[in-house]
Amino acid sequence: MKIIKELEYNEKEKRISFTLYDKTWCNTEKYSGENLEDIKKLKKEIARNIILQQFEIKVNSTNGIELMYAFLKTAKEIREFLNKTFGKEVEEPVVLSDEIGNFRILLCGNYGEKTKEKAELFLKNVAAPKFWEYFSDENKSKATLSIFHNNINKYIKIAEIDENGYIKKIKWTRKNMAIDYKKAYVYHRFNSQFNFETSN
């Protein structure tokens, strides 16, 4: 599986670029598109490969946070699609790959051609455009991550995370302190022991 990094997309300037790394971080492939046809093709391929977890995301950079945020929000759209398809509530899994795995099963045709076609259309017309919408969202909002410990609310001031999104070191404050919304959203998904609240 390739690791995707440094994804840049500018809709106004019609420009897209990204880099794929192998697991050794030695071999790299750089891609860019600066005409409408290339951009449409790359957008489709990038979104599909990220959504279906064919590209791996490392969240130890701002770009990685933005990629993971877009992926996580798109996964929620997929959960809603699965709810409608199966006619029952599908809970958020502990392992996110289970959810994407269920969606990939639909795409493989295990539930019939009609369901496969429906899943393909959803991926093309809903999930992929939503991914780009979430990725391109300006990160203007703030949110807090806190934990209640020894009758005290403690808020994350600064967090050091590993490349998979798990917090390694934390600096706390008792002051209600907000951090970037996308960062807080991603941290919370991989560290659910914290309380997540949006800030004005």
Mean pLDDT of the chain: 87
Rounded mean pLDDT, 103-117: 87
Give 31-49 pLDDT, tens digit per residue.
Answer: 988 788 888 889 999 999 9
Which tokens hold the place of 6?
């440094």
Residues 6+ apart with CB under 8 A from 118: 85, 106
Which of 149, 131, 150 has its CA nearest to residue 76?
131
- Worst-scoring range by mean pLDDT, 16-20, 41-45, 114-118, 156-160? 156-160
Q: Which sign does the torsion angle of CA 122, 125, 130, 132 carry?
A: positive
Please check the confidence at residue 125 and state whether its pLDDT lies above 90: yes
Beta bridge mates, 147? 154
Question: What pLDDT was estimated at residue 200?
Answer: 65
Radius of gyration from C-alpha coordinates of the chain: 18
| Alpha helices, DSSP H, located in 19-136 | 36-51, 62-86, 96-107, 113-122, 128-136
Please check the confidence at residue 111 and state whether its pLDDT lies above 90: no
Please check the confidence at residue 115 and state whether its pLDDT lies above 70: yes
Rounded mean pLDDT, 2-28: 88
Q: Work out the pLDDT band at 128, boundaries 50, 70, 90.
A: very high
Rounded Cα distance, 189 and 36, in Å? 35
160-167 CB contacts, 8 Å cutoff, 24+ apart: 161/59, 161/60, 161/187, 161/190, 162/60, 163/58, 163/59, 163/60, 163/64, 164/58, 164/59, 164/190, 165/59, 165/68, 165/189, 165/190, 165/191, 166/190, 166/191, 167/191
Give 90-102 pLDDT, tens digit per residue.
Answer: 555 545 667 788 8
Question: What pLDDT was estimated at residue 27?
Answer: 75
Beta bridge mates, 154? 147
pTM of the model: 0.88
Question: What pLDDT was estimated at residue 92?
Answer: 57
Please check the confidence at residue 104 and state whether its pLDDT lies above 70: yes
Give 135-180 pLDDT, tens digit per residue.
Answer: 998 878 899 999 988 888 899 888 888 888 788 888 888 988 889 9
